[in-house]
Amino acid sequence: MGSTLKLSRSIEGRDRPGTPTVLVHGVGSEKADWDGVVRALGDSSPIVSYDLRGHGDSPRMEGPWDLDDFVADHMDLMRELGIESSNLVGSSLGGLIAQAVALAHPESVERLVVLSAVAGRTAEERRAVLDRLDAIESDGVEGVAERSVQRWYTAEFRDRHPDAVSRRMRQFAANDRASYTAAYRVLATSDLADELSGIQAPTLVMTGSDDVGSPPRMSRLMAERIPDSRLVIIDGVKHAILHECPERVAAEIMSFLSPGDPGHPGAQSDGMSVRRAVLSDSYVDNALSRRDAVSVEFQDFITKYCWDEVWTDRRLSRREHSLLTLAMTAALGRMAEFEAHTVGALRNGLRPDELAAVLRQITVYCGVPAGVGAAGAIRKVLGDDHERRTDVLPTS
């Protein structure tokens, strides 16, 4: 277990009312990675970020470490700061640490946000991360730096923000080799997938649609296994969602931390945030781009009453909202909407085999023509997603 360390920390709004939000960064990173998100979160509550052991301005120390060491460090810091309970937000390795804290110390976590994190690695993914660990142990951070740029940032972001990427890579290269290696070993060899059902806190799980190290499949698994959870997949970004879209990340966090609070800075965008989380940015952007003098009021009406009131009703989970919507759109023969909400159902954690069960139910209660139409829509959606199997559906 870890010994007490004097971790470097930053505290915004120490005297603000409300539950503190505590931010935990990823391996090879530092608390400054949260700066864009912190700015966008505003001043509604205290915000704490800190450098993990061996990172940033926190002490370097010899490995090996394990996940319990990071949990002990976190709890020591919370006791030092007098924080009994927090909204805990972790990214990458920080997301893994946050899962572990929520499991080991449920009383300390009011709400949990897990960003770009790992759970349920396949055998192939385990081999890949251990190969990366071998490269780090033999060559240091230099051995993985170039590939890291490709894995973390989209080509568009690299082209538009070369200075930001360069700064991040300079910081990455400056990591203490022994500390980085010890931390990466924890990331590479830890997996809490089989324990996630024990998380008691309401949880937001979020990742980028193109993240190869923390892919949407893992986030769907987390959302499926954590009892009270919400899933958000951000279109068109990779692992560095804190850099590429900090405002979007902050909006999702604010919406999740204060649902239904009209005075909260995230409340005004809650309906739009949910609409985008379920249907995808591209779908919503396409709908909004077609607004004109006639439809602008209609779009606002849909966002307010459908997404800000019905879909935010936490008496039903996002999965349950999706299941009901699929059933009703199929019964009404609204196959364009059914297709859009099939995408939403997958984003909300439904598995392809569960969609196959939904299809059977639709066919029995709505009739064979509705079943045929729904099967075609599901197959079209699954055929566009190479991560999912498409052999769970019958041919029509």
Mean pLDDT of all residues in 196-202:
94
- 369 shares a domain with 253: no
pLDDT exceeds 70 at position 14: yes
Over residues 217-269, the pLDDT tens digits come to: 999 999 989 988 888 899 899 999 999 999 999 988 988 887 544 444 443 35
Distances (CA, A) of 387 to 119, 212, 254, 273, 357: 16, 11, 30, 25, 19
- 190 shares a domain with 52: yes
CA torsion 287→290→296→298, rounded to 10°?
Answer: -50
Q: Is residue 292 part of a domain?
A: no
Least confident span in 13-17, 112-116, 164-168, 296-300: 296-300
Q: Is residue 201 part of a domain?
A: yes
Report the CATH number that the domain containing residue 180 is assigned in CATH: 3.40.50.1820
> Are 112 and 149 spatial neighbours (Cβ–Cβ below 8 Å)?
no
Q: Is residue 285 part of a domain?
A: no
Point out the domain boundary residue: 257, 279, 297.
257
Q: Which residue has the higher pLDDT, 242 or 383?
A: 242
Mean pLDDT of all residues in 64-81:
97
- 79 shares a domain with 192: yes
Q: Is residue 274 part of a domain?
A: no
Could you give the angle at which helices 123-139 and 177-189 cross, rounded to 10 degrees? 170
Mean pLDDT of all residues in 104-109:
97
Query: What is the distance between the alpha carbons of residues 226 and 223, in angstroms, rounded to a whole number?
Result: 5
Query: What is the distance between the alpha carbons of residues 132 and 212, in angstroms, rounded to a whole number?
Result: 13
Least confident span in 17-21, 95-99, 314-318: 314-318
The whole domain housing 55 covers 9-257
Mean pLDDT of all residues in 110-134:
95
Report the CATH number that the domain containing residue 375 is assigned in CATH: 1.20.1290.10
Q: Which pLDDT does position 383 carry in this prediction?
A: 83
Q: Which pLDDT does position 347 carry in this prediction?
A: 86
Point out the domain boundary residue: 241, 257, 273.
257
- 320 shares a domain with 253: no
Instruction: Quote the percentage of the chain above a pLDDT of 90.
Output: 63
- Highest mean pLDDT of the ranges 19-23, 221-225, 378-382: 19-23
Mean of pLDDT over the chain: 88
Q: Which pLDDT does position 107 carry in this prediction?
A: 96
Q: Which pLDDT does position 111 carry in this prediction?
A: 95
Q: Which pLDDT does position 395 carry in this prediction?
A: 45
Mean pLDDT of all residues in 197-218:
94
Over residues 301-353, the pLDDT tens digits come to: 888 889 988 998 878 888 899 999 999 999 999 999 999 999 999 988 888 99
> Are 90 and 34 spatial neighbours (Cβ–Cβ below 8 Å)?
no
